[in-house]
Amino acid sequence: MSACRETELDALLADELSPEDTARVRAHAQACPACQHALSWLRAERGWMAQRARRMPARPALDFAALESRLRKPVVPTAPKVSWMHWGKMLTAALASVAFVGITTLQVTRLPSADEPWTRNDALTTATWAVDWCDDPSREAVAALEARVGACLVASPLITLR
Amino acid sequence: MKMVLAGAPPSDTDRERTLLRRARTGDPAAFRWLFERHAAGVWRFLKDLLRDEAAADEATQETFVRAHARLGALRDEDRLGAWLLGIARHVYLESLRHRGTHVDMDDEVHGSQVEAVLPTPTPEDLLLDRELEGLLAGALGTLREDRRAALLLRIDHGLPYEEISAVMGWSLQKVKNEIHRARLQLREHLAAHVGGHS
Ligand SMILES: [Zn+2]
In a domain, B127, yes or no: yes
Residue A17 Cα, gap to closest chain B Cα (Å): 11
Instruction: Specify the number of domains making up chain A.
Output: 2
Same domain, B123 and B168: yes
Domain-terminating residue out of B67, B99, B131: B99
Same domain, B188 and B146: yes
State whether residue B3 sits within 8 Å of chain A by CB.
no
In a domain, B61, yes or no: yes
Instruction: Tell me which DSSP letter residue A153 carries.
Output: S
In a domain, A54, yes or no: yes
In a domain, B145, yes or no: yes
In the reported structure, the alpha carbon of residue A126 is separated from the centroid of ligand 1 by a whole-number distance in angstroms of: 53
pLDDT tens digit string along B2-32?
444 555 554 578 889 999 999 998 899 999 9
In a domain, B122, yes or no: yes
Residue % of chain B over a pLDDT of 90: 56
In a domain, A76, yes or no: no
Same domain, B83 and B20: yes
pLDDT tens digit string along B151-185?
999 999 999 999 999 999 999 999 999 999 999 99
In a domain, A152, yes or no: yes
Q: Which residues lie at CB < 5 A from ion ligand 1? A: A 4, 32, 34-35
State whether residue B167 sits within 8 Å of chain A by CB.
yes
Contact A39, B151 (CB under 8 A): no
- What are the backbone angles phi and psi of residue B115, rounded to the nearest 5°? -90, 150
Domain carrying residue A27:
6-68
In the reported structure, the alpha carbon of residue B77 is separated from the centroid of ligand 1 by a whole-number distance in angstroms of: 37
Written in H, E and C, the secondary structure of B148-195 is: HHHHHHHHCCCCCHHHHHHHHCCCHHHHHHHHHHHHHHHHHHHHHHCC
Of A7, A145, A159, the CB nearest to B167: A145
In a domain, A98, yes or no: no
- B165 contacts: CB under 8 Å, gap ≥ 6: A144, B171, B172, B174, B175
What's the CATH code of the domain at B183? Answer: 1.10.10.10
Compute the distance between CA of residue B140 and CA of residue B135 in angstroms, rounded to an integer.
9
Instruction: Specify the number of domains making up chain B.
Output: 2
Residues of A in contact with B59 (CB under 8 A): 161
Predicted local distance difference test score (pLDDT) of residue B98: 82
What's the CATH code of the domain at B31? Answer: 1.10.1740.10
Q: Note the pTM of the prediction, 2 decimals.
A: 0.68
Measured CA to CA in angstroms, residue B52 lies from A17, A88, B16, B19 at distances of 37, 51, 30, 31
Compute the distance between CA of residue A87 and CA of residue B110 in angstroms, rounded to an integer.
57
Same domain, B165 and B191: yes
Residue A101 Cα, gap to closest chain B Cα (Å): 34
Domain carrying residue B77:
12-99
Same domain, B151 and B92: no
pLDDT tens digit string along A55-109?
878 888 888 988 888 886 554 544 444 445 555 555 555 555 544 444 444 443 3
**ipTM of this complex prediction, to 2 decimal places:** 0.78
Return the residue of B nearest to A62 by Cα: B39
Domain-terminating residue out of B44, B77, B99: B99
In a domain, A108, yes or no: no
